[in-house]
Chains A and B, each alone.
Chain A
Amino acid sequence: MTEVLPQFKIVTPDCVEAAIAALAGAPDARACAGGTDIVVALRKGLSETGTLVDLTGIAALRETATGADGGMVIGAGVTLAAIERMPEIGERYPAIARAAAAVAGPTHREVATLGGNLCLDTRCVYYNQSHWWRKSNDFCLKYRGDTCHVAPQGNRCRAAFSGDMAPALMAHGAEIEIAGPDGTRRLPLAEFYHEDGAAHLALNPGEIVVAAHLPPAGGVSDYAKIRVRGAIDFPLAGVAVATEPGSAGTTFRIAVTGTNSKPLLVDFPDALTGESNADAFFAAMQKAVQKAVSPQRTTTIAPHYRRLSVSALTARVARGLVGLAA
């Protein structure tokens, strides 16, 4: 009998508390939701575990609800296929529906979850390879090796966060709800991530993501990504933009993925008004994105190209939102 995966046992908690107990009880326990990232990682020897905690039996994680503030709460176990098809999300938070539809292929999205997407491992051409490939390269700093092949002088991993959902949620001002042995906590999604490819999540042992909380949407939004293959591929870079109409004009919340070890909120406070020179405004926006991102040699596509294209893509998406031609 072929043994493709290492030995582990599966536990199937039916409530959040039991999942936390299972994760906190074994230091090498790992959560598994749709499995489209973690099972691949186990196959390739990128992760080891003695206990796989299957979260799919927890009904509470699969719920969506209207938030107390009139916004929306999406459970961590809701599948991307469901998010993509939910009319309420498509109407109120279009960037989120668009991002969900842009993740992997349709068969992945049948099982892939929001929580798994937010907790997706960072990616790098020297890392997402088979065991023998990495071994022949003496592994790398992120896992089992001591040198980073992307930035050999540096002492941290530059692998890129490559999830599509995080920027869409960040552009809509989402908070993430986390449950663990010490209770539950909520933080702005941007604070859930660190700029460190080997430890990019602010998740303590025994903690799981329970839900994302979205405030009511003020304006319109969209998500776009560049990738090598149109049908199924991680973003070389992706950007979500949401408008915020106000008395002093329209402001834009911009969040980018695929360029850094964490998804980034780009600081661009300028407001677009009737008096603005639109071309100058969007050129400034493009500059702000170029300055904020720092793509590294973690994909087969040159960092400079990714920097230029994600900034151009931002301006294109933002112009589209206010009805201007790209």
Chain B
Amino acid sequence: MKRVVSLTVNGREVEDIIPDNLLLIDYLRERRGLTGTKQGCDGGECGACTVLVNGRPRLSCVTLAASCAGAEVETVEAQAHGGRLSALQRAFHENLGAQCGFCTPGMIMTAEALLRDEPDPDEDRIREALGGNLCRCTGYVKIIRSVRAAAEELKA
């Protein structure tokens, strides 16, 4: 079955015909061309696919696209504005929070939700919030440092 679904993706209202069995990640990547969101595992284990749905972090690889009717979806593509990186993107870049970069979109979106909720999280809170996001490269230290750096920049 298919249905007509209206939703907001990165601030733009869209209307699409969406099959019931389509996953949000495939909708975003293949229908909307938003390939920033990554698929890192075969379902629910790694956090690479994290996007925001109504401002909360969501694993797009275990979310049905049709269930996002009326929702506001944000992906990593919504971070940069007018060619300028977001505070989180800049912090990840400058603090070497990204190595291969595969986990980075999920890390950034999870961190984005955290910082909107708690603008000044300490290291423990950052660790907790990013607990479901796996990284095979950095050893996490630089990722945590990057989120702290973004929080500092946003405070300033």
B97 in contact (CB, < 8 A) = no
A-B contact pairs, 29 of them (CB 8 A): A1-B22, A1-B30, A1-B31, A2-B26, A3-B21, A4-B23, A5-B21, A7-B21, A8-B1, A8-B20, A9-B20, A10-B64, A10-B67, A35-B64, A36-B59, A39-B23, A39-B43, A40-B43, A40-B62, A43-B42, A105-B47, A106-B57, A106-B131, A106-B132, A107-B47, A107-B50, A107-B132, A110-B58, A111-B63
Interface size on A, residues (CB 8 A): 29
B90 in contact (CB, < 8 A) = no
Q: Are A56 and B47 in contact (CB under 8 A)?
A: no
B115 in contact (CB, < 8 A) = no
Q: Are A105 and B1 in contact (CB under 8 A)?
A: no
Q: Are A52 and B20 in contact (CB under 8 A)?
A: yes
Bound-complex Cα distance A3 to B2 (A): 13
- Interface majority SS on B: helix, strand, loop or mixed? mixed
Nearest-CB distance from B97 to chain A (Å)? 18
Q: Are B59 and A108 in contact (CB under 8 A)?
A: yes
Give residues 46-105 of B contacting A (CB, 8 Å).
47, 50, 56-59, 62-64, 66-67
Question: What band does the interface of chain B fall in when counting residues whose beta carbon is under 8 Å from A?
Answer: 20 to 34
For B64, list chain A residues within 8 Å (CB).
10, 35, 39, 52, 54
Q: Are A2 and B30 in contact (CB under 8 A)?
A: yes
Nearest-CB distance from B118 to chain A (Å)? 13
For A104, list chain B residues within 8 Å (CB).
44, 132
Bound-complex Cα distance A218 to B47 (A): 39
Given contacts A5-B21, A6-B21, A232-B45, 5 further A-B contacts (CB under 8 A): A39-B62, A40-B44, A44-B42, A104-B132, A106-B132
B124 in contact (CB, < 8 A) = no
8 closest pairs, A vs B, by CB? A105-B132, A9-B1, A231-B131, A5-B21, A40-B43, A39-B62, A10-B20, A43-B43
For A105, list chain B residues within 8 Å (CB).
47, 131-133
Which of B's residues lie within 8 Å of A, judged by CB?
A: 1, 20-23, 26, 30-31, 42-45, 47, 50, 56-59, 62-64, 66-67, 110, 128-129, 131-133
Bound-complex Cα distance A3 to B132 (A): 26
Nearest-CB distance from A47 to chain B (Å)? 12
A130 in contact (CB, < 8 A) = yes
Bound-complex Cα distance A130 to B23 (A): 18
For B57, list chain A residues within 8 Å (CB).
106-107, 110
Bound-complex Cα distance A232 to B59 (A): 14
Q: Are A10 and B132 in contact (CB under 8 A)?
A: no
Nearest-CB distance from B66 to chain A (Å)? 6
Nearest-CB distance from B131 to chain A (Å)? 4
For A111, list chain B residues within 8 Å (CB).
58, 63
**In-complex Cβ contact of A1 among B26, B50, B131 (8 A):** B26
Q: Are B23 and A10 in contact (CB under 8 A)?
A: no
Q: Are A36 and B131 in contact (CB under 8 A)?
A: no
Nearest-CB distance from A198 to chain B (Å)? 21
Bound-complex Cα distance A191 to B61 (A): 34
Nearest-CB distance from A124 to chain B (Å)? 17
Q: Given A6-B21, A10-B67, is A107 in contact with B1 using a C-beta cutoff of 8 Å?
A: no
For B31, list chain A residues within 8 Å (CB).
1
**In-complex Cβ contact of B58 among A6, A107, A130, A231 (8 A):** A107
For A3, list chain B residues within 8 Å (CB).
21
For B30, list chain A residues within 8 Å (CB).
1-2
For B23, list chain A residues within 8 Å (CB).
4-5, 39
For A56, list chain B residues within 8 Å (CB).
67
The contact string, 1 if C-beta is below 8 Å from chain B, for chain A 3-42, is 1111111100000000000000000000000011001100
Bound-complex Cα distance A8 to B128 (A): 36
Nearest-CB distance from B111 to chain A (Å)? 12
For A35, list chain B residues within 8 Å (CB).
62-64, 67
Bound-complex Cα distance A6 to B1 (A): 11
